Amino acid sequence: MENFTYFNPTKIEFGLDKEQSIGRHLAEHGIKQVLLCYGSDRIKRDGLFHVVRTSLSEQGINLVECGGIVSNPVVSKVREAIALSRTHGVDAILSVGGGSVLDSAKAIAAGVCYEGDVWDLFIGKASIQSALPVFAILTLAATGSEMNAYAVVTNEDTKEKLFIGNTHLYPKVSIINPARMQSVSRDYLVYSAADVFAHLIDVYFTASMQPTLLSRLIESLINTVIETTETLLANPADLQARGEFAWSATLALNGLTFSGASGFSYPNHAIEHALSALFNVPHGAGLSVVVPAWMKWYHSRNPVQFERFAQNVFHVHSAEQGIADLKNWFDKIGTPTRLLQLGIQETDLPAIVDNALTNARAFGIADMYTRDVVTTILRNAL
């Protein structure tokens, strides 16, 4: 085990009807005026917005609306929301949505407390010294943002998709009600499965020191994601599976899987961010394309762990068969495994590689992920 610090102060409220208490949670933190971030008007049509407004109103908390946050959220919207927050003097940010809304909420929370342009915090020009408190009601389980201190945002001018991470960004309270996820589309369910998968296998395969305990915990989460995705595709109303899928997504990136590991990195995310930054493909769809291609390139660097994966996830005996089985599983559930399925051609590769190299530097893995290597991996995905 490597030395580590584990500190995760987010309170999780998991289960049916938990969103009805959102007002009380904000009141316990002394909140009087909140910026309510959301994506489409779906939350108005399905009644969630009404539940939230009622709960806030019961506690005398004013809300300022900030709708229209898109998947692969953009910094221009974050800037607009920061201005809105300042105008209204909000003292907290409430995200009602999936990871894109929540990541935007975190960026807004940090940006309100920073004098300069919020993008400075993403490119390392300034560091986060404080942030407004963030609260979340999750409507899509995938990114794990509900119980971590990270946020990913795209700068649509520079085509950079970058992340911030800071202790101040842990949500104070995150509400996860699986019943509120039942209307997630089939496509977004399988993209989400690919995202959770990538969070788990990036650590699992790349750690230079990976305690067996952590391998076991990750396999527990992987096997649960596989099982519950299949259950939900057959029966989207299965609340037990919906709940286990959601909680697996949270545990996949809340610190549990990497506390005690060392030398790990997130190469699949570094490469995928180039696809979603340039082509605005769903992040999970990009990942299911990149992951098998990366595995094909990477597996000889950690053969023992790839054989372990093959054995403990797909019950086969060779690394190659494990990788093939994962790709087949992605195909089976209906998430893309080829760049062409995303509408990306061979001629697009140089621009993707350029973008990915910037990400590789941000992720601290530029030594290994050179132009040649990234090109090789992406060619595997053509």
**# residues near a second copy by CB under 8 A:** 37
Q: For residues 122 and 162, is the Cβ–Cβ distance under 8 A?
A: yes
Q: Is 47 left (phi over 0), alpha (psi -120 to 50) or beta?
A: left
Give the number of other CB atoms < 10 A from CB of residue 156.
15
On whether the CB atoms of residues 63 and 49 are closer than 8 A, the answer is no
Q: Give least dist CB 159 to a second copy, A.
A: 38
The torsion defined by the Cα of 22, 24, 30 and 31, in degrees rounded to 10, comes to 30
CB of 196 to a second copy, least distance (A): 12
> How many residues belong to the chain?
382
CB of 333 to a second copy, least distance (A): 19
Sign of CA dihedral 84, 88, 94, 97: negative
Q: If binding is defined by CB under 8 A, does position 315 make contact with a second copy? A: no
4 touches a second copy by CB under 8 A? yes
Q: How far is the CB of 112 from a second copy (least distance, A)?
A: 24
Cα 147 from Cα 249, distance rounded (Å): 10
- Token pair 């001629």 is at which residue? 347
Instruction: Say if residues 172 and 180 touch (Cβ distance below 8 Å).
Output: no
Of residues 150 through 189, those in contact with a second copy by CB under 8 A are: 178
Residue 184, helix vs strand vs coil: coil
Stretch that binds a second copy, among 8-16, 56-64, 96-104, 303-311 (CB under 8 A): 8-16
Q: Phi and psi for 259 in degrees, rounded to 5?
A: -75, 110
Interacting positions 230-269 with a second copy (CB under 8 A): 240, 243-244, 247-248, 256, 259-260
The residue (of 4 and 68) whose beta carbon lies closer to a second copy is 4
* Among the residue ranges 57-65, 152-160, 223-231, 277-285, the one whose residues contact a second copy (CB under 8 A): 223-231
Closest CB 251 distance from a second copy, rounded Å: 8
- Of 187-216, binders to a second copy (CB under 8 A) are 211-213, 216
Closest separation between CB of residue 110 and a second copy, Å? Answer: 21
Show contacts with a second copy in window 17-36 (CB under 8 A). 18
Cα 302 to Cα 102: distance, rounded to the nearest angstrom: 34
Q: Tell me which of 55, 72, 143, 224 binds a second copy, using CB under 8 A.
A: 224
Task: Kindly list the residues in this chain that would bind a second copy in the complex (CB under 8 A).
Answer: 1-16, 18, 178, 211-213, 216-217, 219-221, 223-224, 227, 240, 243-244, 247-248, 256, 259-260
